[in-house]
Amino acid sequence: MTRFDLNNLRAFAQEGIARHGLRGYARKLDLDLGTLRSLRDGRDIQSSRMIGIVEAMGRTLLISDAPDGPRARAGGFGEASKDGEEPPEALRQGYLPIPYHPAQRTYGASAPVAFTRAWLDERGFAPENLCCVQAPDDTLAPGIAKGALCLIDGAERQVSGHVIWAHLEEGQLRLNYLSQPEPGMMLMSDADPTTPPVLRRGPELDQLLLLGRVVWAGALAG
């Protein structure tokens, strides 16, 4: 089961519609066409219907801030501590510093983002493999809007399934759903059902540099 924020539900639906078509995805989920169309168009849906959609997708609904969700905040680390000195405030409060990826334009100008150590440990994330980027555009909106903070795991180097990856294409930061139908081929898509997937193959893949899988997206806590 995948946990996700309620704001991402529409993005999941749009992705399914992009892959199967509106009628095909409605049949796959065993939902009536009107309900799925309302979700796609952003119209209000009754709570009972919303729960049914979530269950049909095989996911878990997260209505409010989850107690097991991360708290990501800026700052709190200051300069590195010397031997015998008190550790930075954020470390004392149970946070770990996650830096921005060098591909991010703010790299070198932004302090590391503080993530709760307990949340990272619970999911088995190794801090040394993690870094942050900001969504460069609205390609994956409304699930991931432009400027959203994204945590990426660089330990994964092989694309499997159909999930969101951060990558560089001709030096530009991108976020896309990636899948690899076969060796030497990469399929890239976004959350807009009207935008056809892009196929990269052969020498074109040399322009594609995978940074890591997006394992969380959200905003800094106030």
One domain for residues 53 and 142: no
Q: What pLDDT score does 178 carry?
A: 93
Q: Find, among 32, 47, 38, 51, the residue nearest to 10 by Cα.
A: 38
| CB-based burial label for 35 (10 Å; 0-12, 13-18, 19+) | buried
Domain end position, chosen among 20, 43, 62: 62
Q: Which of 62-76, 83-97, 185-199, 200-214 has the lowest mean pLDDT?
A: 62-76
What CATH number is associated with residue 37? 1.10.260
- Which tokens go with 25? 């995805």
Q: Is residue 40 part of a domain?
A: yes
Note whether residue 52 is domain-resident: yes
- Residues 126 and 183 placed together within one structural domain of the fold: yes
Please report, for residues 1, 80, 143, 164, the alpha-carbon distance to residue 217 in angstroms, rounded to integers and kept in the order given. 18, 27, 9, 10
Residue 4 predicted with pLDDT over 50: no
The pLDDT tens digits for 169-216 are 888 899 999 998 888 889 999 988 788 899 998 888 888 899 999 999
For 45, which DSSP code? -
Number of domains forming the structure of the chain: 2
The whole-chain average pLDDT of the chain stands at: 77
Residue 211: which CATH number?
A: 2.10.109.10
Lowest mean pLDDT across 8-17, 127-136, 171-180, 197-206 = 8-17
- One domain, residues 58 and 76: no
- Secondary structure letter of residue 204 according to DSSP: G
Regarding whether 101 and 50 lie in a shared domain, the answer is no
What domain range includes position 40? 2-62
pLDDT at 62: 40
Find the Cα–Cα–Cα–Cα dihedral 8, 134, 160, 71, rounded to 10°: -60
Residues 31 and 129 in one domain: no
Please report whether residue 67 resides in a domain: no
Same domain, 6 and 103: no
55 and 111 in one domain? no
pTM: 0.63
> Based on the domain organization, do 135 and 200 belong to the same domain?
yes
